[in-house]
């Protein structure tokens, strides 16, 4: 009888742990940050490692994909322009593995003929469109609460092949990642869904295939 009760207790703990593990990710962010807004200028201790890459044609895209492939739990994306099929494919692969991936795009990405907004929407990504700024010029990914991808590099084919750009992969710096997440969540709260944006602007909501066409 005692062994049965012990087993039941263990099962109960596992079940409780599963509930907490599956707590809505955005609720966790809201509990952490509330509606404080974007963080003020902050000095962060230099910890972890920094990997740097440059373009054109010098490995920036592959460096970003390598960092995406390291993700185990979450990827938060901020993008002004997003046309890189290779980076999109890397995000899709992680989504299929069950990772929490959320994306904020600039409003220009909705109205392009073959837009990244349509592509990500058709593949079921949780995505919002920024409407509060003249342009949403961030080029950022936050991975597993500890890695930050940032720099001038848009997630585009042109940034890889034609432009002079730079990208930093800052790994194992949770304090820095927390600040970037706070800013990301503030912008997420201000953004709206793609369908809501298109309805407000009088556009027809387009449904396409996995290629965004």
Which residues are marked as active site?
137, 139, 144
Q: How far is CA 84 from the centre of its chain?
A: 15
Torsion (CA) 207, 119, 96, 187 in degrees, nearest 10:
-110
- For the record, the structure tokens of 129 come out as 């469109």
Phi, psi of 114, rounded to the nearest 5 degrees: -115, 80
Distance in angstroms (rounded) separating the CA atoms of residues 129 and 135: 11
Distance in angstroms (rounded) separating the CA atoms of residues 88 and 157: 11
Neighbours of 121 (CB within 10 A): 23
Strands (E), the chain: 49-55, 74-79, 100-106, 126-130, 139-143, 147-151, 165-171
- Under a CB-based contact definition with an 8 Å cutoff, are residues 119 and 211 in contact? yes
- For the record, the structure tokens of 196 come out as 């809501």
């Amino acid at each position: 009888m005692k062994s049965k009760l012990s087993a039941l207790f263990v099962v109960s703990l596992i079940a409780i742990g599963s509930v907490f593990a599956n707590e809505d990710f955005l609720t966790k962010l809201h509990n952490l940050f509330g509606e404080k807004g974007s963080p003020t200028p902050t000095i962060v201790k230099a910890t972890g490692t920094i990997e740097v890459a440059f373009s054109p044609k010098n490995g920036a895209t592959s460096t970003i994909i390598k960092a995406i492939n390291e993700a185990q739990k979450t990827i938060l994306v901020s993008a002004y322009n997003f046309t890189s099929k290779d980076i999109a494919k890397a995000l899709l692969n992680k989504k299929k593995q069950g990772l929490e991936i959320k994306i904020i795009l600039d409003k220009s990405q909705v109205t392009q003929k073959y837009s990244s907004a349509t592509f990500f929407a058709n593949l079921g990504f949780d995505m919002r469109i920024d409407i509060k700024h003249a342009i949403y010029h961030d080029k950022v990914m936050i991975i597993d609460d500890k890695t930050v991808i940032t720099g001038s590099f848009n997630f585009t084919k042109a940034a890889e092949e034609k432009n002079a750009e730079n990208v930093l992969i800052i790994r194992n710096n949770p304090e820095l990642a927390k600040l970037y997440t706070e800013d990301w969540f503030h912008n997420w709260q201000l953004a709206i869904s793609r369908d809501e944006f298109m309805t407000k602007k009088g556009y027809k909501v387009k449904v396409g295939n996995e290629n965004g066409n």
